[in-house]
C-alpha cells in the first residue's frame, strides 16, 4: 500500500495496529476453536475462519454475510487461493488451524476527502457505481420535498440548494464533473445557492460541498449508497412528460406502465391549470401505459398509438428511438401472425404483424440490448430453422465474446445473465481459429459460460470467475464503459 503524506512514525503505528489485530484474531482461533469472524477495521475487511469448521456452520456464516462470491468452502477444503486473489483478497494467514484474509475498503486509512473515497471505491469494486451518467437506466423520476424540482431550460439544469445563506462558499460535485469539489462553484441568491450544469437525459449522482463539508441534498428523497459508505443524491434529467388534459375534478391521478411494472400507486401526477402531468426519464424502446383517475383505469385520450392487452382492452404506447423492422417471408395464407419476445414479456396478444406482398412485417422500437423472440402464425410457433429455438436479435453490439480452439465442435453457444442462461439461443459463429458472438453489454457485472456440444465450460481466456450454486463456477466480466 502506498502511504503518501504519512510520516514514518504514523506508518509504523498503523503497521503495529495491523499486527496486533492479526495477533488477536489468531489468539481467538486458539481460545475459541472453531472460529468464524467477519470484521472491518482501519479501512480493511477481515475474515478469519477455523479450519475445523463444520460445513453447516460455514454455510451459515457465508449466508449471514453474503459471501457467496468468495467460494470459501473450496478454499477451506483445498487451500486454493486463486479465486480469492482474483477478487482482490490477500491471504494474511493460512495454516492448519486458521486462515485470515483481508481486503482494503480504501487505498489508505487517512483518506478524508469524500471525493477520493468515491473515486477509490469505484476502482476497488472494479465498476463505476456512480459513472458520469446512468444513461442505460430503464426508467426514473425525481422526488423532491420542500422545494420544486430543478428548473430545466433546454439541456441546462439549475441545481438549487435551499437556505445555507450564512455559508461563505458552496460548490456542486457529482458524477458530471468527476466529483471535483472546486469545479462547479454555486452562486448565492436571496434564498440559497444555484449552479447551472449542461446535462443530457439520464441518471446522475451529486452532493453539495458547504464550506468544505460534503452533504446530501436534504430536500431530495432519492439517494443511493454504494455499499462502501458513500451516500449520494440522485437526479434524473428527464426526457418525457406524461400529460393528461382535463379530469380537473379528480382527487388523485396516477400513471402506470411497462416501465414501472404497472405499479398502480407509484407515479402520482401533479395537478396543472388544465389537467395533470409528471416528467420522467425513459430509455429507448417501446413503453405501454394507462392513466388511473380516482381508481379508474383508462388509455390516454390524446394518444392514438395503442396496443391490445390481456384484458381485451388497449394500452397507450410511447416509442423512444428508431424502430426495428421484424419480417417473416412467406406464410401468405396465414390469417394472423403475431410477434412475441423478451422485449414484451412474451405476450402473444399484443404485437400483430402486418401482411405484405411477400410475407409479414412489423416495425417495433427497441433500445440497445440482446433479445430473443418468436413468431406465431395461426397459433403455431415458427422457430429458428437451425437451432429450433428462439430467434435472436442484438441491437447496437459493443462487445465480442471469443472462444479459441474447439475446431471440431459442432455447435457452440453463449449462455449467461444476458439471455437468462438459455443454452441454445445465442449461437456463436466460427471465424478462423475461434468462435465469436457479438453482444450488447451494459455497464456492470456479467456472468456467463460457453456451451460446447452441450457441455458447459468456463471461458479459458478469462481468469476471473466466481462460484455458483452448482459448484461449477461462472466466468465473470466487468464492463466499465459504454
For residue 479, give the C-alpha cell.
Answer: 464492463
Compute the mean pLDDT over every residue in the chain, rounded to the nearest whole number. Answer: 84
For the stretch 223-247, pLDDT in tens is: 987 655 678 999 999 999 999 999 9
- Residue in 228, 256, 237, 272 with CA at minimum distance from that of residue 119: 228
Cα separation, 164 vs 437, whole angstroms: 55
- Tens digit of each residue's pLDDT (9 = 90 or more) over 9-41: 444 444 545 554 554 444 443 434 456 777 666
* Residue 6: predicted pLDDT: 40
The string of pLDDT tens digits covering residues 177-219 is: 988 888 999 999 999 999 999 999 999 999 999 999 999 999 9
pLDDT at 124: 38
Secondary structure, 3-state, the chain: CCCCCCCHHHHHHHHHHHHHHHHHHHHHHHHCCCCEEEEEECCEEEEEEECCCCHHHHHHHHHHHCCHHHCHHHHHHHCCCHHHHHCCCEEEEECCCEEEEEEECCCCCCCCCHHHHHHHHHHHCCCCCCCCCCCCCCEECCCECCCCCCEEECCEEEEEEECCCCCCCEEEEEHHHCCCCCCCECEECCCEEEEEEECCCEEEEEEEEECCEEECCCCECCEEECCCCCEEEEEEECCEEEEEECCCCCCCEEEEEHHHCCCCCCEECEECCCEEEEEEEECCEEEEEEEEECCEEECCCCCCCEEECCCCCEEEEEEECCEEEEEEECCCCCCCEEEEEHHHCCCCCCEECEECCCEEEEEEEECCEEEEEEEEECCEEECCCCCCCCEEEEECCCEEEEEECCCCCCCEEEEEHHHCCCCCCEECEEECCEEEEEECCCCEEEEEEEEECCEEECCCCCCCEECCCCCCCEEEEEECCC
Q: Strand 223-225 vs strand 44-50: parallel, antiparallel, or unpaired?
A: unpaired
CB count in 10 Å sphere of residue 282: 23
pLDDT value of residue 86: 72
- Between 53-57, 250-254, 336-340, 357-361, the lowest mean confidence (pLDDT) is in 53-57
pTM: 0.70
Contact 331/360 with Cβ under 8 angstroms? yes
Res. 132 pLDDT band, cuts 50 70 90: low
Residue 386 in this model has a pLDDT that exceeds 60: yes
Q: For position 30, what pLDDT does the model report?
A: 41
Please give the pLDDT value at position 61: 81
pLDDT computed for residue 130 by the predictor: 53
The answer on pLDDT for 287 being more than 90 is yes
Pick the more confident residue, 397 or 101.
397
pLDDT in tens, 291-320: 999 999 999 999 999 999 999 999 999 999
- Burial profile 94-125: b = 16 or more Cβ within 10 angstroms, e = fewer: eeeebbbbbebbbbbbebeebbebbbbbbebe
Q: Is the pLDDT of residue 253 over 60?
A: yes
d(CA 255, CA 243): 10
Q: What is the pLDDT of residue 117?
A: 52
The more confident residue out of 85 and 327 is 327
* pLDDT single digits (tens) 52-105: 888 888 888 887 776 777 778 888 888 887 778 777 788 888 877 788 888 875
Report pLDDT for 248. 94
pLDDT at res. 127: 38
CB 120 within 8 A of CB 104: no
Residues 6+ apart with CB under 8 A from 189: none
Identify the pLDDT of residue 113.
55
User: pLDDT digits over 350-378, tens only?
Assistant: 999 999 999 999 999 999 999 999 999 99
Amino acid at each position: 500500500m502506498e502511504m503518501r503524506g504519512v510520516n514514518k512514525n504514523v506508518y509504523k503505528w498503523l503497521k503495529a495496529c495491523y499486527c496486533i489485530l492479526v495477533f488477536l484474531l489468531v489468539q481467538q482461533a486458539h481460545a475459541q476453536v472453531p472460529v468464524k469472524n467477519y470484521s472491518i477495521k482501519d479501512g480493511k475487511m477481515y475474515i478469519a475462519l477455523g479450519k475445523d469448521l463444520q460445513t453447516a456452520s460455514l454455510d451459515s456464516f457465508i449466508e449471514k454475510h453474503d459471501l457467496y462470491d468468495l467460494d470459501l468452502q473450496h478454499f477451506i477444503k483445498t487451500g486454493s487461493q486463486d479465486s480469492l486473489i482474483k477478487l482482490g483478497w490477500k491471504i494474511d494467514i493460512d495454516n492448519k488451524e486458521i486462515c485470515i484474509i483481508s481486503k482494503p475498503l480504501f487505498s489508505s486509512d487517512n483518506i478524508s476527502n469524500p471525493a477520493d473515497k468515491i473515486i477509490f471505491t469505484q476502482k476497488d469494486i472494479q465498476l463505476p457505481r456512480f459513472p458520469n451518467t446512468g444513461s442505460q437506466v430503464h426508467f426514473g423520476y425525481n422526488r423532491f420535498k420542500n422545494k420544486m424540482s430543478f428548473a430545466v431550460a433546454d439541456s441546462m439544469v439549475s441545481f438549487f440548494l435551499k437556505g445555507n445563506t450564512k455559508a461563505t462558499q458552496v460548490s456542486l460535485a457529482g458524477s458530471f464533473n468527476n466529483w471535483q469539489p472546486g469545479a462547479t462553484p454555486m452562486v448565492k441568491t436571496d434564498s440559497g445557492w444555484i449552479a447551472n450544469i449542461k446535462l443530457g437525459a439520464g441518471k446522475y449522482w451529486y452532493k453539495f460541498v458547504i464550506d468544505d463539508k460534503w452533504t446530501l441534498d436534504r430536500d431530495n428523497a432519492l439517494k443511493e449508497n454504494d455499499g462502501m459508505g458513500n451516500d449520494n443524491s440522485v437526479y434524473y434529467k428527464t426526457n418525457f412528460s406524461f400529460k393528461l388534459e382535463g379530469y380537473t375534478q379528480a382527487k388523485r391521478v396516477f400513471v402506470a406502465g411497462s416501465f414501472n411494472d404497472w405499479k398502480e400507486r407509484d407515479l402520482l401526477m401533479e395537478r396543472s391549470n388544465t389537467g395533470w402531468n409528471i416528467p420522467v426519464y425513459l430509455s429507448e424502446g417501446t413503453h405501454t401505459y394507462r392513466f388511473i383517475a380516482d381508481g379508474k383505469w383508462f388509455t390516454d385520450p390524446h394518444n392514438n398509438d395503442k396496443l391490445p392487452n390481456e384484458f381485451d382492452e388497449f394500452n397507450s404506447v410511447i416509442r423512444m428511438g428508431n424502430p426495428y423492422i421484424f419480417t417473416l417471408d412467406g406464410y401468405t395464407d396465414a390469417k394472423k401472425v403475431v410477434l412475441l419476445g423478451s422485449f414484451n414479456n412474451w405476450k402473444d396478444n399484443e404485437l400483430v404483424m402486418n401482411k405484405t406482398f411477400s410475407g409479414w412485417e412489423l416495425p417495433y422500437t427497441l433500445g440497445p440490448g440482446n433479445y430473443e423472440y418468436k413468431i406465431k402464425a395461426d397459433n403455431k410457433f415458427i422457430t429458428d430453422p437451425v437451432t429450433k429455438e428462439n430467434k435472436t436479435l442484438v441491437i447496437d453490439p459493443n462487445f465480442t465474446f471469443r472462444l479459441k480452439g474447439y475446431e471440431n465442435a459442432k455447435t457452440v453457444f453463449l449462455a449467461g445473465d444476458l439471455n437468462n442462461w438459455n443454452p441454445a439461443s445465442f449461437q456463436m459463429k466460427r471465424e478462423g481459429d475461434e468462435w465469436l458472438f457479438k453482444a450488447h453489454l451494459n455497464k456492470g457485472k456479467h456472468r456467463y459460460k460457453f456451451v460446447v456440444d452441450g457441455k458447459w465450460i468456463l471461458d479459458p481466456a478469462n481468469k476471473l470467475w466466481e462460484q455458483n450454486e452448482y459448484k461449477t463456477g461462472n466466468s465473470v466480466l466487468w464492463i466499465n464503459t459504454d
